[in-house]
């Protein structure tokens, strides 16, 4: 592993993302020994003029999160590594000062010169990415002769449509090479999302079944049982398709649908993702249902006339040998009846069925990403007893039971560690991002222009009933033909 100084610079240090996700992830990495205090320093950078201690106090409360097992001494020790620098996002002075602080720390960590690693985490709105990247490029690059690197980590939204995303990509691309840019999609850090490649390609069971001959439809579903809660302003500009479907669900879709990569090298995996994205056919209006929960517009930051969907079901169809005709039903919604993210692979009915299994439901393979990670296969078995009757049961792998005592790392923890290690497998490549926007841009423009309107649905419901009808119809047509 690389050694030498490691500086992690969190830009937007006093914002929500930094407090809730970035710093807690860094803290947990620290507790597990991945951020050795003799090598690491963490800098918060933001516009607010506060002291080191004020920043520490602001983040302290968020560090433990759900894991109260870490002792409070750890928190204090960790916070000692955190320093604050204030400055604007487009001023030379701020970034010159930041560079000075980083260099001072690099010298202080060792009497001799050492290589320097600089990780810039942009917990900022994308509108300032170009200027921040320019400043980093100009004033804050690692220039040690002894090696090291400079990397930038960026968060979605990466643009609002194809053109704006391409513009952003080229602005950043002029300043940094692709291996220096880490585009986070935190779904790629989830345990069961990372498991998808293993499941699909390390199990003989699935290899022959994973295609149009056997699979009727695939559903990738995201539900939240709360609304936009204080993020109405941001959300209204983006909507559920840009917030969840175009990135999180589409990444899951890629891993379910892509072909086997040549190897586990990040470039090989991402090549396959791009290919499957490029094979997606244009989305048809009649294969989309949009919804908006009642009360969404009551948020003072949301305009009364808002046309923004908080729910969407979109069917994707892949034009290739494996998947022709199989609907991939992507569904996401806020303020629904439960909080859940899962993948449901529904198999076709058994041909020439002699047991009347159809009544009980079909074979299904479910991967639950959250809550309570699990995967289970629904299958038909004989009802135990003297009668010859059948019943649907499950082969169940529930992580809580099977891996008792194992802490599943948080997505951000894993992904930040990858950025330090230089592993880009779980990050979105530029051409992948472009292909993702190509799929959704025409639909998004129709919604933005008011050509498609969301149907109101009640908070705490399943979403618009049209969405269930669309899913049912798509799988019926697939099985029975028109």
Question: Residue 32 CB, nearest distance to ligand BG6 (Å)?
Answer: 20
Which residues 234-263 are close enough to bind ligand BG6 by CB under 6 A?
Answer: 243
CB-based closest residue to ligand BG6: 243
Matching residue, tokens 């994205």: 277
Beta carbons within 8 Å of 225's beta carbon, 6+ residues apart:
335, 336, 337, 338, 339, 460
36/64 Cα distance (integer angstroms): 19
Query: What distance in Å separates the CA atoms of residue 473 and residue 461, rounded to the nearest whole number?
Result: 20
- The closest alpha carbon to 375, from 199, 206, 204, belongs to 199
CB of 298 to ligand BG6, least distance (A): 18
Nearer to ligand BG6, 157 or 173 (CB): 157
Binding mask 138-177 for ligand BG6 (x = CB under 6 A): ----------------------------------------
Residue ranges in 280-319 that form contacts with ligand BG6 under rule CB under 6 A: none
Q: Which is nearer to ligand BG6, 140 or 184 (CB)?
A: 184
The minimum distance between CB 415 and ligand BG6, in angstroms, equals 12
Q: Verify cis geometry, omega within 30 degrees of 0, for the bond prior to 157.
A: yes
Please state the closest distance from residue 341 (CB atom) to ligand BG6, in A. Answer: 6
Positions in 210-239 near ligand BG6 (CB under 6 A): 224
Give the separation between CA 206 and CA 36, rounded to whole angstroms: 42
Spot the catalytic one: 248, 268, 319, 426. 248
- C-alpha span between 190 and 20 (Å, rounded): 17
92-121 residues near ligand BG6, rule: CB under 6 A: none
CB of 106 to ligand BG6, least distance (A): 33
The single residue listed with the structure tokens 């799988």 is 475
Between 237 and 349, whose beta carbon lies closer to ligand BG6?
A: 237
Residues 180-199 that bind ligand BG6 (CB under 6 A): 186
Nearest to 29 by CA among 415, 422, 424, 369: 415
Give the C-alpha separation, 398 to 84, whole Å.
Answer: 43
**Count of residues that bind ligand BG6 according to CB under 6 A:** 4
Nearest to 462 by CA among 231, 244, 293, 249: 293
Does position 341 interact with ligand BG6 (CB under 6 A)? The reply is yes
248 as an active site residue: the answer is: yes
Of 55 and 249, which CB lies nearer to ligand BG6 in the complex structure? 249
Cα separation, 127 vs 59, whole angstroms: 24
**Catalytic site residues?**
248
Give the residues lining the site for ligand BG6 (CB under 6 A): 186, 224, 243, 341
């Amino acid at each position: 592993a690389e050694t030498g100084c490691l500086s992690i610079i969190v830009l937007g240090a006093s914002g929500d993302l930094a407090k809730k996700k970035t710093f807690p992830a860094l803290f947990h990495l620290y507790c597990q020994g991945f951020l050795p205090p003799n090598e690491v320093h963490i800098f918060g950078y933001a516009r607010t003029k506060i002291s080191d201690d004020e920043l520490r106090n602001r983040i302290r409360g968020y560090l433990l999160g759900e894991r109260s097992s870490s002792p409070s001494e750890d928190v204090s020790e960790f916070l000692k590594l955190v320093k604050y620098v204030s400055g604007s996002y487009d001023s030379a002075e701020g970034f010159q000062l930041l560079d000075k602080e980083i260099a001072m720390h690099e010298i202080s960590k060792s009497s001799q010169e050492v290589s320097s690693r600089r990780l810039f985490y942009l917990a900022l709105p994308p509108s300032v990415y170009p200027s921040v990247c320019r400043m980093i490029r100009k004033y804050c690059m690692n220039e040690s002769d002894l090696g090291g690197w400079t990397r930038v980590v960026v968060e979605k939204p990466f643009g609002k449509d194809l053109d704006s995303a391409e513009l952003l990509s080229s602005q950043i691309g002029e300043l940094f090479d692709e291996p220096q840019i880490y585009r986070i999609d935190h779904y790629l850090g989830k345990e069961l999302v990372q498991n998808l490649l293993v499941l699909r390609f390390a199990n003989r069971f699935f290899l022959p079944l994973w295609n149009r001959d056997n699979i009727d439809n695939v559903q990738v579903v995201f539900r939240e049982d709360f609304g936009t809660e204080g993020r109405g302003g941001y959300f209204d500009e983006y909507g559920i398709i840009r917030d969840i479907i175009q990135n999180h669900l589409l990444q899951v879709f890629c891993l379910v649908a892509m072909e086997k990569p040549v190897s586990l090298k990040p470039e090989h995996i991402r090549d396959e993702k791009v290919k499957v994205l490029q094979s997606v056919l244009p989305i048809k209006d009649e294969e989309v249902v949009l919804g908006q929960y009642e009360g969404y517009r009551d948020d003072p930051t949301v305009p009364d006339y808002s046309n923004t969907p908080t729910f969407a079901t979109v069917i994707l169809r892949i034009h290739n040998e494996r998947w022709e005709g199989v609907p991939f039903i992507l569904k996401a919604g806020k303020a629904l009846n439960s909080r859940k993210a899962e993948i449901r692979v529904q198999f076709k009915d058994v041909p020439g069925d002699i047991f009347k299994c159809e009544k009980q439901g079909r074979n299904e393979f479910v991967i639950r990403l959250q809550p309570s990670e699990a995967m289970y296969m629904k299958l038909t078995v004989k009802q135990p007893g003297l009668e010859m009757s059948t019943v649907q049961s499950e082969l169940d792998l529930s992580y809580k039971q099977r891996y008792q005592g194992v802490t599943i790392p948080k997505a951000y923890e894993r992904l930040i560690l990858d950025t330090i290690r230089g592993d880009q497998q779980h990050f979105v490549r530029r051409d992948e991002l472009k292909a993702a926007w190509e799929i959704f841009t025409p639909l998004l423009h129709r919604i933005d222009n008011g050509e498609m309107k969301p149907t109101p649905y009640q908070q705490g419901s399943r979403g618009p009933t049209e969405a269930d009808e669309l899913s049912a119809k798509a799988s019926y047509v697939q099985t029975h033909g028109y």
